[in-house]
Amino acid sequence: MGMIIAENISKKYGDGDTAVIAVCNVTFSIGSGEFVSIMGESGSGKSTLLSIIGALNRPTTGKLIIDGTDIYSLTQDERADFRRKYMGFVFQNFYLIPYLTIAENVMLPLATIKEKKSKKRAMAKDALSLVGLSDKANRLPNEISGGEQERVAIARAIVNTPPLLLADEPTGNLDSKTGRSIMELIKRLNRDGMTVVMVTHNHEYATYGNRVLKVADGVLI
């Protein structure tokens, strides 16, 4: 995984008087293997910035280059392929699919790749064991705690060993003890070589990163 380079990125929602500038002319770079925390208050534009880095949200202006590829010059399907190969997402609300078991949720990113079922199961098992949930593989999301659901979301994000992990407030819905354990887990993944970009408004959790990017009113400060 090469560098992430963001050049003069801006994102504007709406037009005219009702237009909102969520991100304004932001430029930064993130090196391979870095753990970068993006910090800011609610509505500062940090989540928008993360979704732009995650190839989910086309910026109004500017360029995002990951590993030498101009992400937003790709077609929608090419961006989907890029996300599948290079990125893992962890969301604040976990976003586990309620009708799939924990193991099935973890295997979701593997659904579109041609691989033997046994291999996919083994990959899911490895990911679940990494987050300490091997024994709950056959449960449904509503049968485990919030902290466990977050761990499942992390297992799902790393099941296909992507080089980049994007986490949006991964501890937002958790108590401080569970939050810390999640942060330890993410830090461990980073130590193992995964580039991590995490959005948080919590100062303590932000310090888990090697570097902090502070955002206020859509601008890096």
Out of 93, 129, 161, 207, point to the residue binding other proteins (CB under 8 A). Answer: 93
- Contact characters 153-182, other proteins, x per CB under 8 A: ---x--------------------------
Question: With binding defined as CB under 8 A, does residue 85 bind other proteins?
Answer: yes
Question: With binding defined as CB under 8 A, does residue 136 bind other proteins?
Answer: no
* Burial (0-12, 13-18, 19+ Cβ within 10 Å), 214: middle
Pairing of strands 69-70, 87-90: unpaired
d(CA 65, CA 52): 11
Question: With binding defined as CB under 8 A, does residue 109 bind other proteins?
Answer: yes
Among the residue ranges 30-38, 93-101, 171-179, 201-209, the one whose residues contact other proteins (CB under 8 A): 93-101
108 CB neighbour count, 10 Å cutoff: 14
Question: With binding defined as CB under 8 A, does residue 74 bind other proteins?
Answer: no
Out of 100, 144, 216, 219, point to the residue binding other proteins (CB under 8 A). Answer: 100
Q: How many residues bind other proteins (CB under 8 A)?
A: 32
Out of 89, 133, 149, 199, point to the residue binding other proteins (CB under 8 A). Answer: 89
d(CA 170, CA 177): 13
Pair 19, 13: CB distance under 8 Å: yes
Question: With binding defined as CB under 8 A, does residue 56 bind other proteins?
Answer: yes
* Burial (0-12, 13-18, 19+ Cβ within 10 Å), 113: exposed
Closest residue by Cα to residue 110 from 130, 127, 134, 94: 127
Question: With binding defined as CB under 8 A, does residue 43 bind other proteins?
Answer: no
Taking the least distance from each CB to other proteins, the nearer of 19 and 111 is 111
How far is CA 50 from each of CA 6, 107, 146, rounded to the nearest angstrom? 11, 24, 23
Q: Where on the chain is the footprint of other proteins (CB under 8 A)?
A: 51, 54, 56-57, 76-77, 80-85, 87, 89, 91, 93, 95, 97-100, 104, 107-112, 117, 120, 124, 156
